[in-house]
Amino acid sequence: MLKVLLVDDHLVVLKGLRFFLQTRPEIDIVGEAQDGEEALQKVEEFQPDIVLMDVIMPKMDGIEATKRIKADDPNVKVIILTSSSDKDHVLPAIRAGASGYQLKDVDPSLLEEAMIAVMGGETSLHPQVSNQLMTHVAKADEHDGRFHALTPRERDILKHITYGQSNREMAAELHITEKTVKTHMTSILGKMEVQDRTQAAIHALKHRWFET
């Protein structure tokens, strides 16, 4: 069962999320918080698997809260759930360690799928957020040799990973098999010295490999 913490400064949002999620047998809502500072306290108290985090909140915003949560316990997954797809929020959130970024208009069933995906080590991005990131062009950090260790195809795969695409979606778009995608993925993780695709995507964005 997934232990989930809800963080939003609007009570109506918290109640709506709880109303839907508490009906799912595999989800346990362990607590709620209305700002970033309270979120840190609740994470320490309840030790959730996933935090659904708003961005714009009083006292401490969701991006700073995400950064501190991931610093304290990298195993806690954070999915940003907000109304803004502005890149000034999206990129900092991913760099802070968020495993997903969803908008509040997301279908409830897709939100559940997003939580399952991030627990499996994948990223989960709302289509509008993916489109936002797809406008960015790969640009390597010259001081990071790991980018240069990747082949052109591996860089292409990594770029699509930052879009939140699944192996099947990448295979279809790149006209290759899912097995080939998985082979490239294994090579990418080894060269980047990371454990999963989420860490690979976060590293790429943190070092501005995919930024205009």
Q: What are phi and psi of 23, to 5 degrees?
A: -85, -10
51 vs 49: CA distance, rounded Å:
7
pLDDT band at 55 (very low <50, low <70, confident <90, very high): very high
Residues 117, 142, single domain; the answer is no
Residues 114, 142, single domain; the answer is no
- Write out pLDDT tens, residues 71-128: 999 999 999 999 887 777 888 888 888 999 999 888 888 899 899 989 988 888 887 7
| CATH code of the domain containing 87 | 3.40.50.2300
Residue 212 lies in a domain: no
pLDDT of 134 > 70? The answer is no
pLDDT of 138 > 70? The answer is no
Total domains present in the chain: 2
End of a domain among 80, 100, 123? 123
Q: Compute the mean pLDDT over every residue in the chain, rounded to the nearest whole number.
A: 87
Contact (Cβ atoms closer than 8 angstroms) between residue 115 and residue 4: yes
pLDDT of 131 > 80? The answer is no
| CATH code of the domain containing 182 | 1.10.10.10
Residue 130 lies in a domain: no
pLDDT of 67 > 50? The answer is yes
Non-local (6+) Cβ contacts of 127 within 8 A are none
- Write out pLDDT tens, residues 17-51: 999 898 888 999 999 999 999 999 999 999 999 99
HEC profile for 193-209?
A: CCCCHHHHHHHHHHCCC
Residues 45, 22, single domain; the answer is yes
Q: CA separation (Å) from 85 to 28, 113, 126, 206?
A: 28, 20, 9, 18
Residues 169, 104, single domain; the answer is no
Contact (Cβ atoms closer than 8 angstroms) between residue 205 and residue 91: yes
Nearest CA among 138, 144, 143, 191 for reference residue 162: 138
Where in the sequence is the domain holding 106, given as residue range(s)?
2-123
